[in-house]
Amino acid sequence: MDIVYIRDLKVDTVIGIFDWERRIRQTVSLDIEMGADIRKAAASDHIDDALDYKAVGKRLISFIQASEFQLVETLSEKVAEIVLHEFNVRWLKLRLSKPGALRGAKDVGIIIERGEKH
């Protein structure tokens, strides 16, 4: 399986469990690896045969900006569902981090894999 990826997609959103976090927007960062077979797109050289990473990015930015989840776990699951179902991706690996969420650390977050990796 080939992998199409998006690295360090930064989006501002409401995320967190504390009262002060519910009143501000914080930046989350996403790295997404999506399992895809690129051979058809490579042969045709046409975007209709490719996993359109720009369309994926725009959809996720729109969704995340409008969301107000408390946990990065919930946001990660919802992002994975969108990519798997709306873009016909069979497998993905998602790293979602919250820069500056823990004093002394560059960022904190989670990494999930969903779907079937072949």
Q: 10, 78, 98, 117: which one is catalytic?
A: 98
Pair 80, 92: CB distance under 8 Å: yes
Q: What span, in angstroms and rounded, lies between the C-alpha atoms of 59 and 82?
A: 8
CA distances from 53 to 7, 8, 93 (A): 11, 13, 14
**Catalytic residue status for 58:** no
Pair 110, 69: CB distance under 8 Å: no
Annotated catalytic sites, by residue? 98
